[in-house]
């Protein structure tokens, strides 16, 4: 069984890719999609698996450099990592790889070389980069016929067959076969665009080995580390001196605050990088005169932390008012029951009773000054955001 190593994607596909199955990363032009196949392969190697990377548009040394950009040293796996070089002969260059396609424009020559590499590999993962380049070299119909043949070969070896495919304006029938018929699973990778692409997402549109929901997730590609699920805006709100700034600094890999005499007078901003998830987090002061800023920040947020000083129930009314001001009640939100280390701090059950909070709203006890509970709160909110249709 294979895991892609891409946050949330394995969950979206039912957990793991069974042996003998095929997966295509169906990439919209202009979106950075090649890293999906690379990250899947590197994660498989890290788990002790074996892999083949078929390069058609880049020299093998460029492929290794590209892996290294993300901090992925494939050199330490040379005993179970094979590059099939279908590029060097195309440009008349020498190659030091064991498996070199003598005539990359002849798909039969690629088939012969790949078959030999697979015989050596045995069971493992084969990644094509990218299938669309092969179509440009050898033709659409002929490539599709060989993909069918390779699928059967992979089933024989119990391999998982993964292709990156950029959806250039090929024939409609070609795109239909790629997206609907040829592969057992299809992950669509696209951009949210208005003249330029300003956001990227992935989503599962087909999985034939599990019953799954069709869901999408925003992502960013980071160097190093690779693909991260990306939440562009999480709002932190709460009453004055509840510990919002402390919470943001505790949970963030880097954060800034604008304050005067120890209290925030403008805005907090932090960047979270935790377990494959990245998020930008924003907070505002608790005083009422800053409520106009709160209304602005509440727009386009994907989730909310409501931070409470657990020892000051007199501030709970103001906290709920701030939640309303941010227009955040329609969003997933988590109540952060902060300052649980104080002797008069209310318990989670007492807070829920005092605030009349529905059981569907999580309350997470924290001590932000010691970073206790802060990442549990983050993971809880992430789960809620990613479950939203």
Q: Residue ranges per domain, the chain?
A: 9-224, 230-387
pLDDT recorded at residue 192: 78
For the stretch 348-355, contacts whose Cβ atoms lie closer than 8 Å and that sit 24 or more positions apart, written own/partner, are 351/308, 351/310, 351/316, 354/313, 354/316, 355/316, 355/320
Nearest partner of 248 among 204, 295, 276, 283, judged by Cα: 283
Residues of the chain with pLDDT under 50: 196-197, 260-261, 264-265, 389
Was domain 230-387 assigned CATH 3.20.20.20?
no
Which pLDDT score is estimated for 264? 47
Q: Which residues of 245-280 are buried (b: 16+ CB within 10 A; e: fewer)?
A: bbbbbbbbeebebeeeeeebeebbbbebebebbbbe
User: What is the pLDDT at residue 259?
Assistant: 57
Residue whose C-alpha is closest to residue 5's, from 21, 20, 17: 17
Strand, coil or helix: 50: coil
Structural tokens at position 91:
């440009």
Identical fold for domains 9-224 and 230-387, yes or no, is yes
The answer as to CATH 3.40.640.10 being correct for domain 9-224 is: no
């Amino acid at each position: 069984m294979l895991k892609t190593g891409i946050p949330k994607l394995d969950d979206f596909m039912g957990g793991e890719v069974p042996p003998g199955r095929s997966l295509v990363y169906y990439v919209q032009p202009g979106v950075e999609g090649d890293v999906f196949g690379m990250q899947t392969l590197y994660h498989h190697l890290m788990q002790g698996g074996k892999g083949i990377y078929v390069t058609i548009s880049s020299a093998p040394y460029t492929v290794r450099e590209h892996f290294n950009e993300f901090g992925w040293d494939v050199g330490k796996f040379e005993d179970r990592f094979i590059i099939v070089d279908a590029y060097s002969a195309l440009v008349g260059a020498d190659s030091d790889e064991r498996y070199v396609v003598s005539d990359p424009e002849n798909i039969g020559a690629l088939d012969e070389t790949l078959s030999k590499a697979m015989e050596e590999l045995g069971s493992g993962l084969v990644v094509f980069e990218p299938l669309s380049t092969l179509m440009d070299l050898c033709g659409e119909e002929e490539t599709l016929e060989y993909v069918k043949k390779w699928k059967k070969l992979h089933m024989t070896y119990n391999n998982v067959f993964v292709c990156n495919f950029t959806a250039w304006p090929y024939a409609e029938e070609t795109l239909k076969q790629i997206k609907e018929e040829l592969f057992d699973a299809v992950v669509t990778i696209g951009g949210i665009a208005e003249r330029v692409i300003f956001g990227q997402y992935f989503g599962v549109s087909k999985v034939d080995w599990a019953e799954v929901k069709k869901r999408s997730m925003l992502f960013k590609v980071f160097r190093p580390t690779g693909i991260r699920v990306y939440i562009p805006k999480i709002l932190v709100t709460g009453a004055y001196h509840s510990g919002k700034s402390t919470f943001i600094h505790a949970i963030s890999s880097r954060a800034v605050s604008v304050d005067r005499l120890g209290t925030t007078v403008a805005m907090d901003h932090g960047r979270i990088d935790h377990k494959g998830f990245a998020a930008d987090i924003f907070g505002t002061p608790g005083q009422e005169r800053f409520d106009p800023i709160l209304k602005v920040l509440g727009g386009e947020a994907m989730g909310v932390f409501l931070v409470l000083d657990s020892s000051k129930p007199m501030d709970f009314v103001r906290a709920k008012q701030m939640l309303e001001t941010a227009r955040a009640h329609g969003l997933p939100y988590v109540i952060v029951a902060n300052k649980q280390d104080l002797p008069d701090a209310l318990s989670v059950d007492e807070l829920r009773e005092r605030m009349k909070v529905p059981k569907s709203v999580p309350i997470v006890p924290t001590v932000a000054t010691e970073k206790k509970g802060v990442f549990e709160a983050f993971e809880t909110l992430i789960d809620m955001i990613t479950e939203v249709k």
